Amino acid sequence: MSFLRRLYPFNLEQTVNLLSEFGPLITLFVVNALFGVTAGIWALIGTTILALIAMRVVLNKLPILALIAGGFTLIFSSISLVTHDPVWVQIKVTMFNAAFAAFLGFGLATKKNFFKYAFEKTFHYTQEGWNRFTMGMMILFIVLAVANEVIRLAFWHANPYTVFGHQTTGLQIWILFKVFVVMPGSGLYAFLLTRPMRKYAIPPEDVAAAEATETAIEVSMVP
């Protein structure tokens, strides 16, 4: 593995997903600081749409997670515009994280592992490996949901707060938390979670044999 790969372990799809997740938040922070909450939410909606378009162009597909997250963002951002209350943008994050954690847990309970279904054509691991990875991600989304609510409720109103000698609002503190704590923390956690997965990797020759068998079965079923 090259030095650059060790330093930055994410592939193109993961990089686009990260930029699509946090790019709109950074835009919201900047525009909100310069032009106010309403303009910031409009910027959030616009950059979310642009992010989905970029993923479609660059990756030639819309990843399931990004599509769901984008849908949540557009719906709750619209509610925030109608109600003139940015809290819905924050609640969206809690609801998405909690809902996805529940979804992953349901998949484990019913033996329908989401990550295996989504990535088994690219990554080849044993069932135990996929289950351990999914459990780790479920824990992450639960922690993110709880942390989001803690920050949202701790800084629930727009009155100025003093942070490192600078005045800021509760919404800006929440965005800073997302960008500078959640983003690097989630990336590091996901990276560390993938390291032990190597011991669950299926050897390439076994993968090739399984694919050959699957192809033979499909051919034999053709009338």
Taking only the tens place, the pLDDT of each residue in 83-96 is: 888 888 889 889 98
In a domain, 87, yes or no: yes
In a domain, 86, yes or no: yes
In a domain, 222, yes or no: no
Closest CA to 39 of 4, 84, 74, 7: 84
Taking only the tens place, the pLDDT of each residue in 126-175 is: 889 999 999 999 999 999 999 999 999 988 765 677 776 777 778 888 88
In a domain, 90, yes or no: yes
Measured CA to CA in angstroms, residue 65 lies from 32, 80, 200 at distances of 26, 22, 24
* Segments forming the whole domain that contains residue 141: 3-205
Taking only the tens place, the pLDDT of each residue in 165-221 is: 777 778 888 888 888 898 889 888 988 888 888 888 887 766 565 555 545 444 455
Q: Which tokens in the block code for residue 153?
A: 């409720």
In a domain, 214, yes or no: no
In a domain, 89, yes or no: yes
Q: Structural domain tally of the chain? A: 1
Alpha-carbon torsion (66, 67, 69, 74), positive or negative: positive
Give the pTM: 0.72
